[in-house]
Amino acid sequence: MLLIVLLKYLLPLKVIFMCNTQTLKLTVTNFVSVNHYLAYRTVTKNGRAMAMSYKTAEAKKFQKEFIEYVKQQAIEQNWITDPDPMQHYYVDAVFYFPRIDMDTNNYWKVAFDAITDSGVIWVDDNMACERVIKVLYDSENPRIEYTIYKTDFTGIFDSQKDLNEFEDKCKSCKRYKRNCSLLHKAKEGRVQEEIADMICSKYKE
């Protein structure tokens, strides 16, 4: 009987733990530079010449193939999609460039847009915190290896635990029942002078 009770409470915690520690590993081959992402053509509108951008064939081909690859890997690696639009993700990258004159800054945008369009990792790539872990050179097998996982921080809080503790106190404040804008902005990561060192100056029981 005791075992059943323990499982009842521990299994949900296990699911939460797995969701918070899950990682997704992706390998990007035939990667496309942001310099080859868009091209421009001149169009005439209302008698005036205008420059209009469009995706290159190279970028379209890469993204179409990479989107399907990301979806497949999410299934194979049991990735659980989080619908929270404010959830950030670390993207640790190891670059294996074919030449030493290549810039890592040029190789995030095209792949990240494809990951966003896959709809299975994050809500938008403005939640991606990209980090270059290492740059190596491999002319035989150039690639980029990503490791994606949720950040520890959430909003202005260093961890989910800190947010939970802060919000637990908020629940006894008069502002909480009125959908406190300070708490909402704090969850969005907005720095406010009313909240400092986990203390809200507007708190009133």
Give me the DSSP letters along 84-134.
Answer: -TT--EEEEEEEEESSTT--GGGGSHHHHHHHHHHTSS-S-GGGEEEEEEE
Q: What is the pLDDT of residue 21?
A: 77
pTM of the model: 0.79
Q: Which residue has the tokens 């095209």?
A: 110
Position 5 scores a pLDDT of 41
Low-confidence residues in the chain, pLDDT < 50: 2-19
pLDDT computed for residue 9 by the predictor:
45
Q: Where are the domains of the chain?
A: 17-150, 160-200
Condensed to tens digits (0 to 9), the pLDDT of residues 126-147 reads 999 999 999 999 999 999 999 9
Task: Say if residues 51 and 40 touch (Cβ distance below 8 Å).
Answer: yes
CATH of domain 17-150: 3.30.1330.70
